[in-house]
Amino acid sequence: MFSIRSARLSDDGPIQKLIRQSHINPTGLDWRRFLVAVDQKDQVIGCGQIKPHQDGSKELASIAVVAEWRHQRVASAIIQQLLRSEAGELLLVCRSSLGSFYEQFGFHAIEQDSMPPYFKRINRLARWVKRLEKKGEGFLVMRKVSGIQE
């Protein structure tokens, strides 16, 4: 069993550690924007945030779950809770293999010309890194537009 709550200052270290262990973008980690999933001992087992960008766009970001809790709907619960408080356009960047996971929340892949400036830069960088690594998986930028969910 787990619960979702707003992050506290004491969660900053566990959030930072989880993001780095998950090998996702470690920039813009402000604990005050995070929701965390905690176990019965109030230990952080997952996290996520809505990250604002200078260009005015907002990103569903930093979705991570500790290995022992994966495939138990922790990430889904965090995402659903974050989406309840957001209206308008929300973007995300994910590995292409996760596209179908985010589609269940209403996100759809978008083309480069539809992306806000921050996401265009990230997309170009991801393509460049992919060429260097020569891996078969790329990145997607996805968008969801909606009103506040109830």
pLDDT of the chain along its 150 residues, tens only?
Answer: 999 999 999 999 999 999 999 988 888 899 999 999 999 999 999 999 999 988 888 999 999 999 999 999 999 999 999 999 888 899 998 888 899 999 999 999 888 788 877 777 777 666 655 554 555 666 778 888 876 544
Question: pLDDT (tens digit, 9 = 90+) per residue, 115-140?
Answer: 877 777 777 666 655 554 555 666 77
Q: Which pTM does this prediction carry?
A: 0.83
Cα-atom radius of gyration of the chain, to the nearest Å? 15
* Cross-strand bridge partners of residue 44: 38
Which has the closest alpha carbon to 142: 22, 133, 150, 122? 122
Walk me through the domains of the chain, giving residue ranges and CATH numbers: 3-146 (3.40.630.30)
For residue 150, what pLDDT is reported?
42
d(CA 147, CA 132): 40
Backbone angles phi, psi at 95, to 5 degrees: -65, 145
